[in-house]
Amino acid sequence: MRKPDGKIVLLGDMNVGKTSLLQRYMERRFPDTVSTVGGAFYLKQWRSFNISIWDTAGREQFHGLGSMYCRGAAAIILTYDVNNPQSLFELEDRFLGLTETANNDCLFAIVGNKVDLTTERGPEGGEKDQASGKTGSCVSSKVPKQVHPEDAMALYKKILKYKMLDEREMPGAEQMCFETSAKTGHNVDLLFETLFDLVVPMITRQKAEESSPIVDITICKAPKQTRSGCCA
């Protein structure tokens, strides 16, 4: 098997839907899942590159493994559940620290999953069914969204500051914060394919640097002069 050219890692609390998102994208279905143990990866061919996408366990007992999975990552998908504010909080509190082992120029996407279960705020402040777009007081069993996109965008900006990444050189919060549904497939292709397109130039640059390493001439010492006047 060819070594992957780049790596993307899904992180986030248990039950937010990491495995479901990956299965929706790779297998085009929404099967029943069991809580992930350790981690597992899929290989995706994107253009001429092989990208590994790692699914990790959100359960606390596997927390120690997280930084190992993030090693050398080109992009990290921080996933939360739009119905569970605590799951967004956990991203900053528990998962961000695991990303220290990722590449220095690692990209971050913040993904609010399970939007199919929610209603959206309508223009007049009323609730609107996110799937059908209908406004009304009795809109099925859906609940108002608990975490709004602005909260995720604020976290994205905070992460750039924390990582000391220049906001002007990184993709904007609007591009890197997604709301998805693994159940309906909403925005799932957009999420993964946006990341692939951003990661590919990074891989190309990295490969170019590896094939023509820069020689630091300041560390090439001048030849020593021997007593006889010859160079040693």
Ligand X SMILES: Nc1nc2c(ncn2[C@@H]2O[C@H](COP(=O)(O)OP(=O)(O)OP(=O)(O)O)[C@@H](O)[C@H]2O)c(=O)[nH]1
At residue 147, φ and ψ (nearest 5 deg) are -120, 125
Choose, by CB under 6 A, the member of 8, 25, 36, 66 that binds ligand X. Answer: 36
- Nearest distance in Å: CB 188, Mg ion: 15
Any contact of residue 51 with ligand X (CB under 6 A)?
no
Within residues 154-193, the interface with ligand X by CB under 6 A covers 181-183
What span, in angstroms and rounded, lies between the C-alpha atoms of 113 and 16?
Answer: 7
What, of Mg ion, ligand X, none, does residue 17 touch, CB below 5 to 8 Å by kind? ligand X
Choose, by CB under 6 A, the member of 8, 20, 44, 102 that binds ligand X. Answer: 20
Distant-in-sequence, close-in-space partners of 200: CB < 8 Å, separation ≥ 6: 6, 46, 47, 49
- Nearest distance in Å: CB 5, ligand X: 25
At residue 188, φ and ψ (nearest 5 deg) are -70, -45
Any contact of residue 57 with ligand X (CB under 6 A)?
yes
Within residues 74-113, the interface with ligand X by CB under 6 A covers 113
Smaller CB separation from ligand X, 70 or 170? 70
Give the long-range contacts of residues 90-95, CB within 8 A, separation 24 or more: 90/12, 90/13, 91/11, 91/12, 91/13, 91/155, 92/155, 92/158, 92/159, 94/13, 94/63, 95/11, 95/12, 95/13, 95/66
Residue numbers of the site for Mg ion (CB under 5 A)? 18-19, 36
Give yes or no for a contact between 191 and 110, defined as CB atoms under 8 angstroms apart.
no
What, of Mg ion, ligand X, none, does residue 20 touch, CB below 5 to 8 Å by kind? ligand X
Distant-in-sequence, close-in-space partners of 98: CB < 8 Å, separation ≥ 6: 11, 63, 66, 67, 70
Any contact of residue 70 with ligand X (CB under 6 A)?
no
Smaller CB separation from Mg ion, 8 or 131? 8
Any contact of residue 18 with ligand X (CB under 6 A)?
yes
Which residues sit at the interface with ligand X, rule CB under 6 A?
Answer: 12, 14-20, 33, 35-36, 57-59, 113-114, 116-117, 181-183
